[in-house]
Amino acid sequence: MTFNKTIIPRVMASILGQTREVLAAEAVIAVDGAETFDCDVTKLHLHDMTVIAGLGGPISLLIAFSFEASLVEALFIRVTADIEVPDGEEDLYRRETAGEIVNTILGLCTSDFQNIEESIALSPPVIIEDARCIHRPKNAVFANMRIRTERGIVSVSFVGPRELFDDHLNYQS
């Protein structure tokens, strides 16, 4: 296990910067600001739609982007503007939109870690739609960042070491 929690502030800064870039480029949505709650968080609250992906190698974190419904809707409308969404498949495309946005943000974040020799693997996004609260086990590290946009909030949670949890954030003892 290569997890080192001192990397979390760097990953946070990278995610904030790339979120700003991707939301502007893909959906013309501006980020208004962000608050961070670094490493002293004891529980995480997930909103209605959460996208979870893992950054591997020396970063070893699960990262959960939990979206307010208003932001998901705004992203869905902008991202699917030029493609056909079949009737009845709107919810599928909402989930796909959120997954693709998170995948793009995290992929671009890896370019902020060029000094790391080892490849930084990125796991495919997993989407969960049940709001829930996750308490921090003693041997885990939680941190949180709340990004405010003009269309709603996305809370980004950092959970490490990633080996302690499955891709749905269930604790694996």
Partner 1 sequence: MSALKVLIVDDSLIAVKKLTLMLEGMGHQVVGTAGTGAKAVDAYRTSNPDLVTMDITMPDMNGVEATARIIGEFPAARIIMVTSHGQERMVIDSLDAGAKGYVLKPVRVEKLSDMIDKVMARTT
The residue within the footprint of partner 1, chosen from 78, 123, 168, 171 (CB under 8 A), is 123
Stretch of 1-9, 38-46, 91-99, 144-152 lying at the interface with partner 1 (CB under 8 A): 91-99
Based on the shown chain and the rule CB under 8 A, indicate whether residue 23 belongs to the binding site for partner 1: no
| CA distances for 75 relative to 6, 26, 52, 167, 172, angstroms | 32, 8, 17, 24, 33
Based on the shown chain and the rule CB under 8 A, indicate whether residue 127 belongs to the binding site for partner 1: no
Q: C-beta of 75: minimal distance to partner 1 in Å?
A: 10
The residue within the footprint of partner 1, chosen from 83, 87, 133, 170 (CB under 8 A), is 83
Q: C-beta of 4: minimal distance to partner 1 in Å?
A: 18
Stretch of 2-10, 20-28, 38-46, 65-73 lying at the interface with partner 1 (CB under 8 A): 20-28
Q: What DSSP assignment string belongs to 27-89?
A: H---EEEEEEE-S---EEEE-SEEEEEEE-TTT-EEEEEEE-HHHHHHHHHHHTTTS---TT-
Helices (H) and strands (E) in the chain, counts: 3, 8
Based on the shown chain and the rule CB under 8 A, indicate whether residue 67 belongs to the binding site for partner 1: no
Q: Which 3 state secondary structure label does DSSP give 93?
A: helix
Of 26 and 38, the one with the shorter C-beta distance to partner 1 is 26
Backbone angles phi, psi at 64, to 5 degrees: -115, 120
What length does the chain have? 173
Q: C-beta of 124: minimal distance to partner 1 in Å?
A: 5
CA distance 39 to 62: 14
Site residues for partner 1 per CB under 8 A: 22, 25-26, 79-80, 82-84, 92-93, 96-97, 99-100, 103-108, 110-111, 113-114, 116-124
